[in-house]
Amino acid sequence: MTKDNIFSIPQKKVEDFSFDKKVVAVFPDMIKRSVPGYENVIIMSGLFAERFARPDSNVYDLGCSLGATTLAMRSRISAPGVKIIAVDNSPDMIESCREILASDNGMAPVELLLDDIRNIDFQNNSLTALNFTLQFLPPGDREPLLKRIYDSMPPGAALILSEKITFSEKRNSELFMDIYHSWKAHNGYSEMEIRQKRTALENVLIPDTIPQHTARLEKIGFKRCELWFQCFNFMSMAAFK
């Protein structure tokens, strides 16, 4: 695994974060050291897929990056006729993801799309995973996307929504952010790396609170929304139609 040291050199002006070749080259190390619980969320996405992927339906992995969620789901799906549709709008991610998928011998076919998740015509959708992706959409685009996902689902279908979050109580936001940064330092990131990455993400990743997520999902029509994972300012929810 190539070590992430992208932000280890002082930068005069920290540019907005983008999922380019440099990030792709270190992505597995970056996400493992930057998202608490990431590996669990991925494994559990496979367990959701085992239960919710219905015969002859589509399963979506939106913002698939290098295909970690797709591979976890693929390894668990046994229902016949399931296709996984994995989407990312970073050409560098998709190129590397294609190579990774080619060396996997899972059964379910995977359609890999280089596209914006806002452009996808969702069909026959038994399960959608949005693992740490919705947070990168402009806030006003989040509800319309979730509504289109909901509309493409039969009753009983599921959504996995994993996100970085913030808190309505300012002191809690600061506390959890601070503990989160201590965890990053524990994982070997320097104070400068943590600071520069934070600046790079400032305009790019806009977190919501758990009540905002829940209210939006319920407004759209999802019947049961459950928080099934949380660690500091990261969480994963499951919502069912």
Which residues in the 200-219 window bind ligand GEK by CB under 6 A? none
User: Cβ neighbours of residue 95 under 8 Å, at least 6 residues apart?
Assistant: 24
One of 4, 6, 7, 19 touching ligand GEK (CB under 6 A): 19
Q: x/- binding map, residues 67-86, to ligand GEK, per CB under 6 A?
A: -xx-----------------
Residue 166 interacting with ligand GEK (CB under 6 A): no
Minimum Å distance from CB 49 to ligand GEK? 13
111: which strand partners?
Answer: 85
Q: How many CB atoms lie within 10 A of CB 182?
A: 12
Residue 87 interacting with ligand GEK (CB under 6 A): yes
Helix pair angle (21-34, 91-102), 10° resolution: 70
One of 132, 150, 180, 189 touching ligand GEK (CB under 6 A): 132
Please calculate the CA angle 80-239-203 and round it to the nearest 5 degrees.
110
Residue closer to ligand GEK by CB (options 22, 80) is 22
Distinct helix (H) and strand (E) counts, the chain: 8, 7
Residues near ligand GEK (CB under 6 A) are: 19, 31, 42, 63-65, 68-69, 87-90, 93, 116-118, 131-133, 136-137
